[in-house]
Chain A
Amino acid sequence: MSIRDFLSKKRKAIVNKSFEWTVSTYPEESQSFLKDNSRQFTNPIGYNLYQSIEQIVEKIINEEPIDNFITPLEEIIRIRAVQDFTPSQAVGFIFLIKKAFQDELEKEIEPLKVLDFLSRIDSLTLIAFDIFMKYREKIYDLKSKELIDRTWWILKKWNIVSEIPDKTVETK
């Protein structure tokens, strides 16, 4: 049996395992809350986590190009970038997804093929790191932008700073 055929049968198990393990990186007392992944609005983290992991697993199984992974990865990492995680913890959930795949594949598929398949998942970690940095930078960006929003208008009005009038900019 090909890996793909095998995996498409195991999809649900892999999603659930990945989700459960990712949730287990949160404090134990909140895990049961996060595991409830059906309340889109009153438990957005559990919900989004599950939806995104499901998509990622799906895309791995369908061997989709790497660009397709960015949206679901962003979904998860954007949340983890502002939570109580170190950078490695924030992106490391990829390894938990990998482990979930490994657990299933080991049962039926020969080791060399498994190794080759799994090594592809590693590249997601690199993308994940880029996304993580993007959102961390965003945080600092927001801090400075907030300061500008709070003061810029008044600085302009008092002629402490001035801008090039809009009209002249349009000649590009």
Chain B
Amino acid sequence: MGLPRPEELISNVNLKKMPSKPWMDTLPVEFKPGFYCYGAKGKNLEYVNFPNARDFHVTEQDWKLPEDWKNIVIEGIKQRLERFRTFHVFMDICVRCGACADKCHFFIGTGDPKNMPVLRAELLRSVYRKYFTTGGKLFGRNGGARDLDIDVLKELWYYFYQCTECRRCSLFCPYGIDTAEITIIGRELLNLLGLNTDWISGPVANCYRTGNHLGIEPHTMKSTLEFMCNDIEDITGIRIEPPINKKGAEILFVTPSGDLFADPGIYNAMGYMMLFHEIGLDYTWSTFASEGGNFGFFTSMEMAKRLHTKIYEEAKRLKVKWIIGGECGHMWRVWHQYHNTWYGPIDFLEEPVSPITGTKFENAKSNKIVHISEFTADLIKHGVLKFDKSRNDNLIVTFHDSCNPSRGMGLFEEPRYIIKNVCNHFYEMPDETIREQTFCCGGGSGLNAGEIMELRMRGGFPRANAVRYVHEKFGVNLLANICAIDRATLPPLMDYWVPGVRVSGVTELVANAMIMKGEKERTMNLRMEPLPGKEEE
């Protein structure tokens, strides 16, 4: 019979093993829906003066590159070798021991060998060898080198936009080789040719113009905060007037704009305002510094710096003393590891001291920015806040460590301390999936676009799998986190893998349990759902 047996039909590889092709021979990359982000729009690239601005369509054969694109990339590599010791050292010292191979959530979830961190880096390393090392020039392929051609470029694009810069691999590397750093530089190179994604370049352009990724204009931001205050009044009976662009306030508060618009981030934003109101904090929002996040970081260092500058500029203009930052992942990687270098010395602000408890935040004395979790944990420690933990009794909580605050900062205890003080039921996920070993949500570094839902589901599977374990074992039904991208990407991830688990920020939990002075008897949580014991019969 001419028909194949089913097992022959379904197998990608023959059941009797065929010799595999070396990875350099598996080009060109096939762009399949669900696996790649849509290309950038010309107008967005142009708005922030990115080179080669044009509508970029990934699946079109012709990527409309400049004539000398190859030189641009090679010159770009040269410049970055001279500028980044990380890049230079990481290009040279990998011994391909394979310790990182099975640490990447994308490899674990896809089985695609080019998602092994070592190979993702090797994609670029092979080009580096060809043009910058004697061995690569002399021995070519046998020296692990290859020419840069259009297929290689497309492969670089495909895989550098399949890395969420989570740094889990760098934790296990005996030399500390950081794939995030390589991806960051790889993306910088791609951006020299205008090879960006719509999901990243759109927010970047918005952020430049309006101060935030979503493109919220000042008057809209004000109304949005007021809408939230209406809800707060309905829930607590307390009327809050959000201070906006208030000169001379003590503290500038900046959070990712996701918290101003999207469910469930909005509940966190309500939480911030309730907390600040309760302790009588003299603070202000800024409509211009209305974004703590920085999608520029996913395009180039320069763009990141261009977007971040507004935060200190606004702090200066509004004459505040110091800054509090809301819950966000990559925002804190940038704020913690880059801000001070980009804008410092920050001598126009004062060393942060909590006006409520008098605590000096020693660890932020130079760049004058304190994380909301550090700030809140300190308040709780000093007994400033009163809680009715039973309001969160319907929640069985676990905590997802976001990649950036974990491996780019080390913020582990503060949020846990807060959660344990406001919730009665808290359970940890297995050790190898939390804290510094935490698994990515699958949508970091600008990969939370809707069109790659499949990729996100696969990349997020290791995380979801650990949640499912505590869901089944302890009945966990709430996944708390301190990242706006998490709050956007984890709900669908949970819906797919662990239905029944909802997602929230930590401050939402705080505000829900916090007993406010002069509040009415609460019957609803911040989501306007009945509190436990207050359900209508």
Pick from A59-67, A105-113, A143-151 the stretch touching chain B: A143-151
The complex places the Cα of A79 from the Cα of B468 at a distance, in Å, of 14
Query: Which of A30, A82, A83, A143 touches B113 (beta carbons < 8 Å)?
Result: A30
For window 1-38 of chain A, which residues contact chain B by CB distance below 8 Å?
21, 24-30, 33-34
The complex places the Cα of A150 from the Cα of B430 at a distance, in Å, of 31
Contact B111 A45 (CB under 8 A): yes
Report chain A residues within 8 Å CB of B35.
84
Counting chain B residues whose Cβ lies within 8 A of the other chain, the interface size class is 35 or more
Report chain B residues within 8 Å CB of A34.
111
Report chain A residues within 8 Å CB of B20.
27-29
Smallest CB separation, B473 vs chain A (Å): 12
For window 99-157 of chain A, which residues contact chain B by CB distance below 8 Å?
99, 135, 138-139, 142-143, 145-147, 149-154, 157
Which residue of B has the minimal Cβ distance to A167?
B536
Pick from B76-84, B142-150, B308-316, B490-498 the stretch touching chain A: B490-498
For window 54-92 of chain A, which residues contact chain B by CB distance below 8 Å?
78-79, 82-84, 88-89, 92
Does B356 interact with chain A (Cβ within 8 Å)? Answer: no
Does B433 interact with chain A (Cβ within 8 Å)? Answer: yes
Contact B492 A145 (CB under 8 A): yes
Binding site secondary structure of chain A: helix
**Given contacts A88-B10, A92-B6, A28 and B469 within 8 Å (CB-CB):** no
Smallest CB separation, A83 vs chain B (Å): 6
The 8 A CB mask of B243-285 against A (1 = contact, 0 = none) is 0000000000000000001111010000000000000000000
Does B478 interact with chain A (Cβ within 8 Å)? Answer: no
Pick from B195-203, B321-329, B449-457 the stretch touching chain A: B449-457
The complex places the Cα of A143 from the Cα of B453 at a distance, in Å, of 7
The complex places the Cα of A78 from the Cα of B101 at a distance, in Å, of 24
Contact B13 A24 (CB under 8 A): yes
For window 14-34 of chain B, which residues contact chain A by CB distance below 8 Å?
15, 17-18, 20, 32, 34
Contact B12 A25 (CB under 8 A): yes
Q: Identify the B interface with A (CB < 8 A).
A: 5-7, 9-13, 15, 17-18, 20, 32, 34-35, 101-102, 107-113, 223-224, 227, 261-264, 266, 430, 432-433, 450-451, 453-455, 457-458, 461-462, 465-466, 469, 488, 491-492, 495-497
Other than A27-B13, A45-B108, give 6 A-B pairs with Cβ distance below 8 A: A43-B102, A78-B497, A92-B6, A92-B10, A147-B450, A150-B488
Q: List 8 contacting pairs A-B, 8 Å CB cutoff, sorted by A.
A: A40-B469, A41-B469, A42-B102, A42-B432, A88-B10, A89-B12, A139-B454, A150-B488
